[in-house]
Amino acid sequence: MTPRDLVPIIAFGVVVVAAALLVTSNVALNFLVFTMIIALAAQGWNLLGGYGGQFSFGHAAFFGTGAYLTAILQLRFGMGAYPAFAAGIAGAALVGLAIGALAFRSGLKGSYFALVTLAFAEVFRVLANAAEITGGAAGILIRLEVNPANFQFADRGTFLMVAGSLVTLALLATLALERSRLGAQLVAVRENEAAAQALGVDVLAVKLRAITLSAGMTGAAGGLYAQYFLYLDANIAYGTWISVEALLAPIVGGAGTVFGPVLGAVILHGLAEATKSVAGRIPGIDLVVFGIVLILVVRFPPRDIPGLLRRWRR
Amino acid sequence: MGLPPEIILEAVLNGLLTGAVYGLVALGLTLVYGVLHIINFAHGALLTMAMYAAYVAWASLGVDPYVAALPLAALFFGIGYLVQRLVIGPASRGKDENILLVTLGLSIIIENLMLAVFRSDTRSIDVPYAMDVIEAGPTLLSYPRVIGFVATIAVGVALYVLMRFTMTGKAIRAVAKERTGAALVGIDVAHVYAVTFGIGTACLAIAAAMLLPSFYVSPRVGNAFVLVAFTIVVLGGMGSVVGALVGGLVIGVVESLSGLFLGESLGQIGIFLIFILVLLVRPTGLFGARA
């Protein structure tokens, strides 16, 4: 990693901090915080899906575990907010390791891996909806005690700074991974698993490390969500919406790149807001746009766009 | 568990009946997989759309879902054909992960269009026979479910005849076995893909018409069925038609029994656990060939 590589990441951090200090509208701050949470979840997906080529359709399992642990450890076990948040990340990482161990050991890949992750997320959702410790279908509220020591802040700007710093850290971690041996092995597995294996890459170990890191990062997004909104239920924490968001942003912004998930999250949620302001409050209309964007991005990969334009101009 | 045997027997029988309709949903999925080798993540959303279509036929036109079943099947054959021909085929350019994403995108679009049009209210139709039962020995069977069972068998037979004795069926089988070879002898592979996708979607339309009298409709209702259908397809073996029907019956019984013993909300867990277990232990399913 050279200082030059760090410039865009530092620039990103500065922009977020500046936004946190300058923006006063609560609507705009809400939008930014939410986008940061999605970007963090998506960065997690990117580690496994983007660099490793293992497409998970169930990152909600990690997001929800991070979120619920952060809430439950505070409420039911009297833990401080920060240790609970850290435990949430660790718990999500462990869930990732466990699901990875089961799925990758059985040699699941492609659509099968997508299916099994989807099923795990659904199992968690049904369980959380029925269990007592999660508050069941009624959900769980984190007590409102605004105090930085409780990971609760009086104004949204401060929270944006915290969320932005976490995303910046995630960007740094992703860059470090990209430049590391593990990152190179991961890309090798994505491009050609058999060839990677033949060259002596321990494919299973590489995938397991990737899913653990990936789950931990998405779990951090879940914990952040819990601390920001102070309310969770099974359909939020383990809902398919977050699995889709976590996957969509990197695909749209560029899977397997450092800035792809952030870029994708900003583009998608910018589009969603624009759609809402044009079409009014029709439920679901923003997601229709997401679906269309997803298909268009697959049909016309952004990296091909310069080529397409050149051909079109000719 | 001190439950009397009649109750358990009734649960098993009703599970078999519901399972048959699940099998019908799974049939479309497994057919598409068998020929196109893709997992269609839009299957659930297409089912939701078909259920709304049957709902509209009843609510605005007053057509009984059982009467609407065949016209809807024709309509959804067309929809499926066009979706594969115009969207999935061109957008995925033959790449597995692209198909995954395109069908996911389609499901997001359809599901949320339904939400935008019909809002999130659950709707159901009020047919006079919804609560009717048929006496079979000591047990009572729900009339709509018996009809659904019969329809599934009929569709199964019709599909068998189609695949076995028609030129279209022959072309589909040829493409499923050897895509390049089929193209070389002059079969229009893109057309066969679209026809197959259309047939799969038509199965959904019939399933939707069978489900409507006893199930409610909401924009996300398809998700519940499609996870069950995935389970069935995985259990029965991807691409196996017999597997889908048998798997459907098995899953119907499992759901019915686990609902009886664990309660409604945890009843689904049994299905997911089977799903995960089969995926982990034998991803080719009980009837599928080794990959």
Q: Measure the CA–CA gap between A109 and B68, rounded to whole angstroms.
A: 40
A288 — contact with chain B (CB < 8 Å)?
yes
How does pLDDT run across B135-192, given as a tens digit for each residue?
A: 777 777 888 888 889 999 999 899 889 988 999 999 998 998 888 899 999 899 999 9
What's the whole-model pTM score? 0.88
pLDDT of residue A306: 64
Dist. CA A213–CA B148, nearest whole Å: 47
The model's pLDDT over B180-233, given as tens digits with 9 standing for 90+, comes to 899 999 899 999 999 999 999 999 999 999 988 888 888 888 877 888 888 888
Residue B1 has pLDDT above 60, yes or no: no
CB contact A281 to B (< 8 Å): no
Of chain A, the end-to-end C-alpha distance in Å amounts to 40
pLDDT band, residue B291 (cuts 50/70/90): very low
pLDDT tens per residue across span B81-138: 999 999 998 887 777 778 888 999 999 999 999 999 988 888 887 777 777 888 777 7
What is the band of B290 on the pLDDT scale with cuts at 50, 70, 90? very low
In whole numbers, what is the pLDDT of chain A averaged over residues? 91
CA distances (Å), B123 to each of A218, B72, B268, in order? 36, 19, 22
Flag if B101 and A298 touch (Cβ within 8 Å).
yes
Cβ atoms within 10 Å of B122's Cβ, excluding its own: 12
pLDDT tens digits, one per residue of B16-38: 888 898 999 999 898 888 888 87
Domain boundaries, chain A: 3-239
Which residues of chain B make contact with A126, given a CB cutoff of 8 A? 265-266, 268-269, 272
CA distance A285 to chain B (A): 6
How far is B42 from B27, CA to CA, in rounded Å? 14
Q: Does residue B250 carry a pLDDT above 70?
A: yes
Of all residues in chain A, what percent carry a pLDDT higher than 70?
A: 97
**Cβ of A291 and B219 within 8 Å?**
no
Per-residue pLDDT, A307: 65
Beta-carbon separation of B276 and A127 below 8 A: no
As to burial, measured by CB atoms within 10 angstroms (0-12 exposed, 13-18 middle, 19+ buried), residue A82 is middle
Half-sphere exposure of A119 (CA within 13 A, CB side): 30
Contacts B87 to A, Cβ<8 Å = 295
Count of alpha carbons within 13 angstroms of residue B152, beta-carbon side: 30
Residues in chain B within 8 Å Cβ distance of A129: 265
| Cβ count within 10 A of residue A60 | 33
Amino acid at B171: A
Cβ–Cβ under 8 Å, residues A90 and A120: no
Q: Which of B90, B114, B116 sits opposite A299 (nearest CB)?
A: B90
The complex scores an ipTM of 0.85
Encoding tokens for residue A54? 């293992």
Stated as kind and residue range, the H or E segment containing B287 is none
Least confident of A133-137, B4-8, B75-79, B86-90: B4-8
* Nearest residue to B59 (alpha-carbon basis) of B114, B116, B126, B117: B126
Least Cα separation, residue B129 to chain A (angstroms): 32
HEC profile of B176-238: HHCHHHHHHCCCCHHHHHHHHHHHHHHHHHHHHHHHCCCCCECCCHHHHHHHHHHHHHHHHCC
Q: Which two tokens stand for residue A46?
A: 């990117």
Q: Average pLDDT, stretch B248-262?
A: 85
* Residue A311 pLDDT exceeds 90: no
- In the prediction, which pLDDT does A276 show? 83
Residue A258: enclosing H or E segment and its boundaries? none
Pairing type for strands B133-136 and B139-142 reads antiparallel
Which chain B residues touch A116 with a CB distance below 8 Å? Answer: 275-276, 279-280
Query: Six-digit token pair at A284?
Result: 């679901």
> 3-state class of A67 per DSSP?
helix
Dig out the tokens for A306 from the structure.
């310069």
CA distance A153 to A135: 25
Task: Answer whether residue B289 shows pLDDT above 60.
Answer: no
Q: Do B116 and A244 touch (CB under 8 A)?
A: no
Q: Which residue of A has its CA nearest to B284?
A: A112
Best mutation site among B33, B88, B97 for testing chain A: the one with the most A CBs within 10 Å? B97
Q: What is the DSSP letter of B134?
A: E
Question: A222 with A92: CB under 8 angstroms?
Answer: yes
Asked if residue A37 lies in contact with residue A221, where contact means CB atoms within 8 angstroms, the answer is yes
| Chain A residues lying within 8 Å of B91, measured CB to CB | 295, 298-299
Higher pLDDT, B137 or A27: A27
